[in-house]
Amino acid sequence: MLAIFPLADAASGMVLQGGISYGQESLPIGIIFRLILSALIIGSIIIYKNWQAISISFAICFGGTLTVILVQGIVYDYSFAQLINEGRIFGKYIVWAVIIVFFYSYRQLISKETLTQVTNISNLLLILGLIIPKLLGVGTNTYDGTVGFKGWYYGPNDTTYCLAFLTIFLVLTVQINRPNRRNVLLFCLYFGDLWALLIIGTKMGLLALVMSVVILVIRALQTWTLPILLIVILDIAAAIGIVIYFYGASIYETVFLPNIKRIQYFYQLYNGDVLRVLFSDRLGRTSNDLAILATKMKNFELLNFIGYGYDFRKFIIVEAEGLIEMDFIDTFFSYGYLGLMFLITFVVTVFRKINILQNKSIFALFLMSIIYANIAGHVLYSAMAGTTLGMLCGFLLVEG
């Protein structure tokens, strides 16, 4: 089921883009898929009594967070619809943690090789959900029809995170010293990743493209002999030259130029404040929301312990869009100091179970994911990105 998660997200995105709905809500295929997955994992742990340190931490931390939501329902007098919506958000929020619990609980039965294959299948399906609609001339863009091509997916930031980190995972795990058919296929997959990163056209995607190339070059310098290295460099240079000759102008106009214009626009909008440009004014929105909450809510300091809920905060702050897009800050707003404490406790528990010395490069990638979640969001509160994060962490935990 983990291998085919992009299919569920592509189907969900097509439904959302097409406006297909049941009642007033769009059909949440991706959420239903992950609810079933989470139920199977949690059910297997309960039935087989496979309680481990991480699963116990999960039960305490996320059970505590669920209790916070129920307390919010009483304090803020949630309607039934509001309570259901908060539960839906919570269901997405725990996806990454549930997957981590699964891999740790069955770590001796799952090999890194198996998980690598599962991850690469997910990678392939993910890029097909971008490349096929691009070739067919369907799919949508995010930013005024310029950059942020989403293909059949709904969230550009979620898609970018998954594609970026799966691409880097691929170049970190492929065995470049073994010229066999499997590695040829993996390099074909990598070039598909590069194409997908170009057509998605976001800043994060372009940065991941450059990082993956740099990592691959460093690994090649450490592994290949000079003659082989020269041949590969010449082949790649020739391929890049052909692409630039035929498609260079189009790539510049559709990928790079819109990003440059957007950066220039926000630079002028924020009066040259580089930090506001880099963080898309997330820190400014945080300060603004806190100020409004302090003005509107009685016992503001006390309520900070339980937070204001993902959905309910939008009723308090009309301008709020639901997420600040900095996951740890969003956890504070949604579940308060208690929810943030539960989250940090679970993350620390996971970190303590990872053998860093045996998996330094993948651990660095996992650490980058946590940092990215904290400064750019769309990881812990995205079922799609959360699935990818759980799989990356799973690679650090399995021992089979």
CA 121 centroid distance within chain: 17
- Tokens at residue 119, please? 């991850």
Coil, helix or strand for 333? helix
Residue 279: per-residue pLDDT: 67
Question: What is the number of domains present in the chain?
Answer: 1
Mean pLDDT of the chain: 83
Task: Write out pLDDT tens, residues 108-157.
Answer: 888 899 999 999 999 999 999 888 888 888 777 766 555 667 778 877 88
| pLDDT at residue 165 is higher than 90 | yes
Amino acid found at 324: I
The pLDDT tens digits of the residues spanning 376-397 come to 888 998 888 999 999 999 999 9
Which uninterrupted H or E stretch holds 294?
A: helix 282-296
Instruction: Summarize pLDDT for 317-362 with one digit per residue, the tens.
Output: 655 556 778 899 999 999 999 999 999 999 999 999 888 877 888 8
Whole-number Cα distances in Å, 289 to 126, 276, 308, 376: 35, 16, 11, 17
Return d(Cα 188, Cα 96) in angstroms, integer.
Answer: 28
363: number of Cβ within 10 Å: 19
Q: What are residue 26's DSSP bridge partners? A: 21
HSE, side-chain direction, 13 A CA sphere, residue 387: 27
pLDDT (tens digit per residue) in 262-279: 777 777 777 777 766 666
Instruction: Give the number of C-alpha atoms closer than 13 A to the C-alpha of residue 278, restricted to the C-beta side.
Output: 5
Cβ–Cβ < 8 Å for 266, 277: yes
For position 24, what pLDDT does the model report?
47
Range of the domain at 38: 5-397
Element (H, E) at 21: strand 21-22
Instruction: Tell me the C-alpha distance between 268 and 259, whole Å.
Output: 14
